[in-house]
Structure 1
Amino acid sequence: MTRAFVFPGQGSQAVGMGRELAEAFEVARLTFEEVDDALEQRLSRLMFEGPEADLTLTENAQPALMAVSLAVLRVLQQQGGVDLRTHATFVAGHSLGEYSALCAAGAFSLPDTARLLKLRGQSMQKAVPVGKGAMAALLGADLEQAQAIAADAAQGEVCAVANDNAAGQVVISGATEAIDRAIALAAERGLKRSVRLPVSAPFHCPLMQPAADAMAEALETVTINTPAVPVVANVTASAVSDPAEIRRLLVEQVTGMVRWRESVLYMKGQGVDSLVELGAGKVLAGLAKRIDKEVGAVSVGAPADVEAFLKTL
């Protein structure tokens, strides 16, 4: 079996995430404490107890999801001797999950990753005034259809494909009025349905340029090591290991499209037949089944998942 470890993005957060892991494994609890210390914030309490509205805030959800993913990895390392070099061919993550993947592979330290994601969340939130941007999932659309709808709906405003998640699940992002026009166009063109997403900002489109600028500045101050295994980058859907290239692609990622469908197909083309999703939720495992049924996927987030996965090694 040839594996890639993959890391979820925003939307997978839920109150209570990581709590069972912290209760069962000291290394998980210490991981959450390390993130709390780096941020000078009791983020773990927010993760375990809520309130949900505060956890959902982009600046909290991003480092929180990363913390759970890294806690799971450290438990696997401690309990089962999991080593990325031995047990994975690639790592990859969806949007903020790319930072989790880089941290898992040793490119970033955990404290640096937490601080970068806190800043990334804050910068993305500030980039566009509330109400001026929106996102929508075009269900039933393929990438080309979504790109055509976004282009026709723009009418001088920003409207772009943000996430190519799987065939039939493409997300667009941009100015609120343009997204409304795109939803109407999608209905006219016979798409199954379109859903406005409950997000606070229009991620992964050119409106995020102020956040990209902030991340470019922040990433210049942080050490990036060569990762233990190559990272499949969101914006290129191909493997990268060079620290300078990683830095450049993370800046592009803020405004660029998350090419998740292509990333999974790239990994399959390189011989990967199993994805191991580390962290909260099961979104990426679900998408894998829609992208290519030949690629197996398992989600590891709770103590029982850890036990089950380690038996497969």
Structure 2
Amino acid sequence: MAKAAWVFPGQGSQAIGMGADLATVPLAQERFAEAESVLGWSVLEVVQADDDKVSNTLYTQPCLYVIESILVDLLQDRGHQPAVVAGHSLGEYVALYAAQVFDFAAGLTLVQRRAELMAQASDGMMAAMLGFDADDLAAKLEATPGVVLANDNNPGQVVISGTPEAVTAVMESVKAKRAVKLNVSGAFHSPLMAEAAALFQPVLESIAFATARVPVLSNVDPIPATDGAVLKQRLVQQMTGSVRWREITLALPELGIDTVVEVGPGNVLTGLTKRTCKDLALVNVGNLEQVEGFTN
């Protein structure tokens, strides 16, 4: 039997219509209703809106959390369990839910407040860089105040974050195959999110974190952990800290993992994994048909 890591994508993987097929399942119907009571709006209505409302940070994060959590519920209801879990940025909240660190409503309460604070963060800029010299990029980041490595996704793809001037300066000075400004409201995963992180902390402190049922590899620390206090502290650091996804991926084979299951819309994380650890088997579970066909 495969030893699987379940991984959960974050903002950027959303798509109009995602999760709508789940609404035929009673378990999912209960979750959508519970989500509406927490959020005050309908996830199903937002994801099916033609104006791409689902790509507004305020809605993106709660919608991804709800849909990915429902996919977790459906998989676990069929007897499937991961050996370890990890999530990319927002996806870490689903990883913690899958590991039973908190319940569905508690996680959604955290995600809704996180989304509100991040949507209000209008200062700063983020850019994706592909095909670059890692040493050159590291040197330029070190020499340029106001910009940091926000997402270390794989050896050939990163995201930098900081003030518009600093991010632009690095984009223009580092030779890369592609450098693209991201359509986000602020400099996520950088020190510029310190104020938002400080406002978020009281909400985070109000939620009890249980011992995880399976190890969690956190964005800011890829060492597996199950202690609730440790996992909460790592989440405190997540808003201003880098997403160390490349290190998370490299840690999986060392933990005996042979299969990576991306639970959520799209295939961003399996795509990143393919370029980092070529020997890992890759599976995507992003809709009802894929849940029903899942055999690991």
**Length-normalised TM-score, structure 2:** 0.95
CA distance in 2, matches of 1:145, 1:72: 41
Mapped contact 1:159–1:172 kept (Cα < 8 A):
yes
CA distance in 2, matches of 1:109, 1:44: 21
CA distance in 1, matches of 2:62, 2:93: 9
Matched with 2:153 is: 165
Q: Is 1:19 paired with 2:40?
A: no
Q: Is 1:220 paired with 2:205?
A: yes
Mapped contact 1:146–1:170 kept (Cα < 8 A):
no
Mapped contact 1:141–1:170 kept (Cα < 8 A):
no
Deviation of 1:44 after TM superposition, in Å, equals 2.4
Deviation of 1:270 after TM superposition, in Å, equals 0.9
2:251 to 253, 266, 275: 266
Matched with 1:29 is: 29
- Residues 42 and 149 (structure 1), Cα distance of their counterparts in 2 relative to 1, 3 Å cut: same
- Residues 121 and 145 (structure 1), Cα distance of their counterparts in 2 relative to 1, 3 Å cut: farther
Q: Is 1:65 paired with 2:56?
A: no
Q: Is 1:202 paired with 2:184?
A: no
Give the secondary-structure state (helix, strand or coil) at the position aligned to 1:240: coil
Deviation of 1:153 after TM superposition, in Å, equals 3.2
Give the secondary-structure state (helix, strand or coil) at the position aligned to 1:299: strand
Residue type matched to 2:224 in 1?
A
- Percent identical: 40
- Structure 2: segments with no counterpart, 5+ residues: none
**What is the Cα-based RMSD across aligned positions, in Å?**
1.4
How big is each residue's C-alpha offset from its partner over 1:175-218, in whole Å with a ceiling of 9 and x where there is no partner? 011111111011xxx32221111111111000000121122211
- Residues 8 and 17 (structure 1), Cα distance of their counterparts in 2 relative to 1, 3 Å cut: same
Matched with 1:235 is: 220
Give the secondary-structure state (helix, strand or coil) at the position aligned to 2:63: helix
Give the secondary-structure state (helix, strand or coil) at the position aligned to 2:261: strand
Give the secondary-structure state (helix, strand or coil) at the position aligned to 1:255: coil
Q: Is 1:93 paired with 2:87?
A: yes
Mapped contact 2:32–2:42 kept (Cα < 8 A):
no
Q: Is 1:152 paired with 2:146?
A: no
2:168 to 174, 180, 191: 180
CA distance in 1, matches of 2:247, 2:135: 13
**Length-normalised TM-score, structure 1:** 0.90
How big is each residue's C-alpha offset from its partner over 1:81-111, in whole Å with a ceiling of 9 and x where there is no partner? 22x3xxx211100001000100111111111
Give the secondary-structure state (helix, strand or coil) at the position aligned to 1:164: strand
Matched with 1:286 is: 271
- Structure 1: segments with no counterpart, 5+ residues: none
1:110 to 55, 80, 104: 104
Residue type matched to 1:229 in 2?
V
Deviation of 1:283 after TM superposition, in Å, equals 0.8
| Bigger Cα displacement from structure 2, 144-153 vs 61-70 | 144-153
Matched with 1:252 is: 237
Matched with 1:135 is: 126
Give the secondary-structure state (helix, strand or coil) at the position aligned to 2:159: strand
Deviation of 1:251 after TM superposition, in Å, equals 0.9
